[in-house]
Amino acid sequence: MNKINEQEKSIPKPPKDRVTGRDIAKISELIPPEDQKLVPINRIRDALEKLRQIIKHPNQDDQ
């Protein structure tokens, strides 16, 4: 199973599917300054990637 995960990670994503620093900055502006310390950038990036996948494929159910 690790080999499959490594293969998926090694496949480059198209540029539109990648979360950019600009995307993260836009979301960070919405978070109050006192809470920004509590929300790691990794979590923001992961959430944006998940949202993009949901928006791209809205009819797929979670397996």
Model confidence pLDDT, tens digit, residues 27-59: 888 888 888 888 888 888 888 888 888 887 777
CA distance 43 to 47: 6
> pLDDT value at position 63?
47
- Tell me the pTM: 0.51
- What does the DSSP 8-state code read for residue 15? G
Q: Sorting pLDDT into bands at 50, 70 and 90, what band is 18? A: confident
CA distance 20 to 7: 22
